[in-house]
Chains A and B, each alone.
Chain A
Amino acid sequence: MSRKSLVVMQSEFMRRVTSKTFILTTLLGPALLIAFFAVIVMISISAVEDTSQENESHRIAIVDETGVLNTRILNQDAGDHVLVTADLSSAREGVLDGRFDAYVRIPPEVISGTTQPVLYSQEGSGFGVRGTLGSIIERALEDHLLAERNVSADVRSILDRAVWLDTVRLTDEGEEAGAPEGYAIIGGVLGMVMYMTMLIYGSLILYGTLEERTTRVVEIIVSSVRPFDLLMGKVLGIGLIGFVQMAVWMLMFLGAMILAGPVIGLFIDPAMYDLSTTATTQEILTAANISLPHISAGLFIWFILYFIGGYLLYGGLFATVGTLVDSPQESQGLMIPLLMPMIISIIFLSPVIMNPHSGLALGLSLFPLTSPVPMIVRLSVTDVPFWQILLSYGLLVLSFMGSIWVSARIYRASILMYGKKPSLRVIVSYLRSG
């Protein structure tokens, strides 16, 4: 790298790193991201609550035509729902005039299993009590059938046993306890951060280049610096800012992970788990079955490496767009083909999280224009075979070298052209001209 690239790099870096925008986004960025995910989590939790209708009570009429299930149904805990015995015609009327929210008709053949109970309501489908009521009836039926056959209490208790799966992630380094949801969230956050930063820093290069052209300062600059050195200095200077921002975020993230345990511990009452009030945070978390996902240093390193690779690949291309247009509005059209692969990698974020070894996940994490986001997601949620990482990163490095080469040529040829947009044919001729 030439001395002049260094001067450009230093200027780009110093000028932006001291700006209020940078300081604010660095400090507030994580808060915004956390708020964003918190909103998503809250929405999904409330959606889950909606389906179980825990907070809402319904009056439901039971029309038992079997003659044996009614008591067993009414004896069960129906939560906030109120279950009432009724005959068919009054249940029907009741639903229509609003006294009941729904009624269940249980035909006699339900006992033999040849037919199913039916839930009638004015809402038709999507009625939240369906799951709850279904299991109440199922249990009543089971109870009835077992009683008929004189099954003993200890056999009953065997049938009542439930199994809950605990999860442990097995890696080369050993076992890591932790909820898979934790890894999925980390994968999602890292994927989003990767996407956002590549986009933000790519755009900074674009607008920086565009500004130099629209203010016409560029002609003074290129009378001192080769366009290639200017491009490199700009890409590296802005990249360095991204790197610094990322490093600050990583430190904040690590700090948050260290503090997360004690903070969660503060919100848990030790008495709930029969622990003394002097129990340590670790004891409380263990008793509450909360384990925080462990993040390896390797993941951080790969994150930084993929950020650098993806940023360089897109950075050069964004700079080229900046030399081909005369205003931010004009740049939108040319941005679309560049943004497509990035958007695709975000669209497939959750399939990759769910199934990190699928063909889709592998393909996306090898293809250089999309690889940074899915690969970092896969690295967060699973063990990726080393050859895949190597191949993916190798392809990324080759592509960014190609992208910088192409960009430098177009950049050099078009940086002093104002007013007329070059056609594709002209752009190709720039590449040939050497």
Chain B
Amino acid sequence: MGSLVLQGITKRFGKVTAAQDISLEAEPGRILGLLGPNGAGKTTTVRMIANILTPDEGTVTLDGRVVGPWSQEQMGYLPEERGLYKKIKVNNQLQYLAALKGIHTRDSVPRINYWMKRLGLQEWGARKAQELSKGMQQKVQFIAAVLPNPRLIILDEPFSGLDPINSELLREVVAELKADGRTILFASHRMEQVEQLCDDICLIANGKLVLSGTLREIKRRFKRDKLALAYDGEALFLDAMKETGDLQFLERNEDGCIVRLAEHCHPRSLLDRLLATPNLELYRFELLQPSLNEIFIRTVESQR
């Protein structure tokens, strides 16, 4: 329950195409990371999923049914641009936001109590939102998103502005929700968080979907062309290889270096040469997996 499918959705604002032919799927019990540089069309895509905007072309479906007012009650949304009513007490705001999702106060009150306690805010329910710190307000907004027990949870930059302790707390809660079988959409441009949390990845650039798949598969798709070396002795042939363009140094110090091999150079032949070099003792020879950050930068740059 909660599988989200976007099929060829396009959204234009006047002459600007904010999203073009985007197709993706998010599965229950998994976290889909929606990545993209600023202005790539992430927010537009998320707003179409949340039924705030209607796509010009294509469809968004939740469990096979086109999204609409009905699906808004099945969805929790933590937008990137977010806030609370400053002068209303936290509990009252949460009751109001729950009521807008169709939850009666008698049902929302125990849920609010549970979540306020879970996120360490139990003392703050009777306070006005403006008395809370930014981090606390953010946790309140998170509660608003999970309060309706949604099948689909959309979190747009949920960690921005949180201290490490609260980030960890939130990460735990998100993991619980995932284990509980919710579909989670996590939009961000913080790669290390995406790498830690997500099972699947979609990368949007210039309004187009440029990369999608499981995190593992995507990482595998990108060649391990980075090599970490550590050795004792002199490996002068490396400099010669640099001159001919066979490799490039990314880092270099007394104990070794990190290099990127050119397309035509096989790591195996480099290993052979290192082993064959007299008076050189090799400690480390490791093909490094590209980080998501690198994949992100490389993919986005190749689009330009």
Contacts and interface: CB of A to CB of B under 8 A. Distances in A.
A3 B102 CA distance: 9
Given A4-B100, A216-B79, A223 B84 contact: no
Interface string B87-106: 01000100011011110000
Contacts of B81: 216, 219, 418
A224 interface: yes
A216 B82 contact: yes
Interface residues of B, number: 27
Interface in A214-245: 215-217, 219-226
Interchain residue pairs A-B with the least CB separation, the first 6: A215-B83, A216-B83, A224-B100, A219-B79, A223-B77, A223-B50
Contact of B82 (A211, A220, A224, A416): A220
B240 to A, nearest CB: 56
Contacts of A211: 85-86
A8 interface: yes
Contacts of A221: 97, 100
Given A15-B92, A215-B83, A219-B79, 6 more contacts: A8-B100, A211-B86, A212-B85, A221-B97, A223-B75, A416-B47
A52 interface: no
Contacts of B101: 224
Contact of A217 (B72, B78, B83, B102): B83
A11 interface: yes
A7 interface: yes
Looking at chain A's contact residues, is the secondary structure mostly helix, strand, loop, or mixed? helix
Nearest to B97: A220
B51 A223 contact: yes
B5 interface: no
Contacts of B78: 220
Interface of B: 47, 50-52, 69, 72-73, 75, 77-79, 81-86, 88, 92, 96-97, 99-102, 141, 144
A223 B72 contact: yes
A326 to B, nearest CB: 13
A215 B100 contact: no
Interface string A1-44: 00110011001000100000000000000000000000000000
Given A217-B84, A223-B51, A11 B72 contact: no
B85 A224 contact: no
Interface residues of A, number: 21
Nearest to B100: A224
Given A7-B100, A15-B88, A224 B83 contact: no
A416 B52 contact: yes
Given A219-B79, A219-B81, A416-B52, A224 B86 contact: no
Given A11-B99, A216-B81, A222 B86 contact: no
A215 B84 contact: yes
A222 B96 contact: no
Contacts of B99: 7, 11
Contacts of B72: 223-224
A4 B101 CA distance: 9
Contact of A7 (B50, B77, B79, B96): B96
B75 A215 contact: no
A222 B101 CA distance: 11
Contacts of B82: 216-217, 219-220
Contacts of B96: 7, 11
6 contacts: A211-B86, A217-B84, A217-B85, A223-B75, A223-B77, A226-B69
A416 B44 CA distance: 11
Given A220-B144, A223-B72, A223-B77, A215 B97 contact: no
A226 B47 CA distance: 13
Contact of A223 (B79, B83, B86, B102): B79
B129 to A, nearest CB: 9
Nearest to A2: B69
Nearest to A7: B99
A403 B285 CA distance: 73
Contacts of A8: 100
A3 B101 CA distance: 11
Contacts of A216: 79, 81-83
A4 to B, nearest CB: 6
Contacts of B97: 220-221, 224
Nearest to A11: B96
B160 to A, nearest CB: 13
A224 B108 CA distance: 15
B68 to A, nearest CB: 10
Nearest to B141: A220
Nearest to B53: A416
Nearest to B73: A224
A311 B73 CA distance: 32
Contacts of B50: 223
